[in-house]
Amino acid sequence: MKKPKNIVIFVSGNGSNMSNLITHFEGRTDGNIEAVFSNKKECLGIENAQKMGVNTVVFSKQELEEGNVAELVQLLNADLIVLAGFLLKIPKEFTSQFENKIVNVHPSLLPKFGGKGMYGRHVHQAVIEASETKSGISFHYVNENYDEGNLIAQFECSIDPTDTIEDLQKKIQELERKHFPEVLEKLIAQ
């Protein structure tokens, strides 16, 4: 039997995608959530990961930039690093060390509405203000530039003319809940 792939998740906020992934991979033989990393000690994601019995690591921006976090990830033999609402920019030294092993989900159809400052409500607001008729999520590999890594998969939803930012946010969260586990399953099967 094949050894399960080690997955490390990075979060900065509530960790709803993280919780979904931990639940999905619990007891499976193909993948294992090895640890949850965060740059925020007080974030709900860390608290929820601990309640779910997953090891957690809290680090500073400086520790990320100096390579300490990369060393820890290597010690965990991470096969896949998943950014699930992680807001700090990953340094070039880190991305080059884990090329095509860091995956992010972005709440728009990249290359539209990506880049620095484009996360969460900011993205949804920009999409609504641009009168787009569709939006969605983009899974991509992470490189040293915000939201510019190679695309893995995209899933879309329609936007009604009456949709608010909150309406769009709910549609995007539903896409993430549905597709995040299946995309990771495919990646760890490669």
Output the CA angle 151-156-159, nearest 5 degrees: 140
Strands of the 31-38 sheet, one edge to the other? 55-58, 31-38, 5-11, 80-83, 102-106, 134-141, 151-158
Catalytic residue positions, numbered: 106
- Residues 37, 9: contact at Cβ < 8 Å? yes
E strands along the chain, which residues?
5-11, 31-38, 55-58, 80-83, 102-106, 134-141, 151-158
Q: How far apart are the first and last CA of the chain?
A: 16
Return the axis-axis angle of helices 120-129 and 165-189, rounded to nearest 10°.
120
Structure tokens at 118: 């484009």
